[in-house]
Amino acid sequence: MTKWEYSVAPVLNHAAAQILNNFGQDGWELVTLLPGQGGNDVAYFKRPAE
């Protein structure tokens, strides 16, 4: 069975693509993106635990 690790990060709207791509390059998979405070979103990621 795969074990997962998780991360939660703010996503600044003016740099969303760059932020999400950086997480993807590090092996993180976006699970969901929810509205946050101040007009920025909050991203929830997962990746297989090492």
Quick one: what percent of the chain has pLDDT higher than 90? 90
The pLDDT of residue 44 is 98
Lowest model confidence (mean pLDDT) among 4-8, 35-39, 45-49: 35-39
List pLDDT tens digits, range 1-24.
999 999 999 999 899 999 999 999
The pLDDT of residue 8 is 98
Mean pLDDT of 21-43: 95
7-13 own/partner pairs: CB under 8 Å, 24+ apart: 7/44, 7/45, 7/46, 8/42, 8/43, 8/44, 8/45, 9/42, 9/43, 9/45, 10/36, 10/40, 10/41, 10/42, 10/43, 11/36, 11/40, 11/41, 11/42, 11/43, 12/40, 13/39, 13/40, 13/41
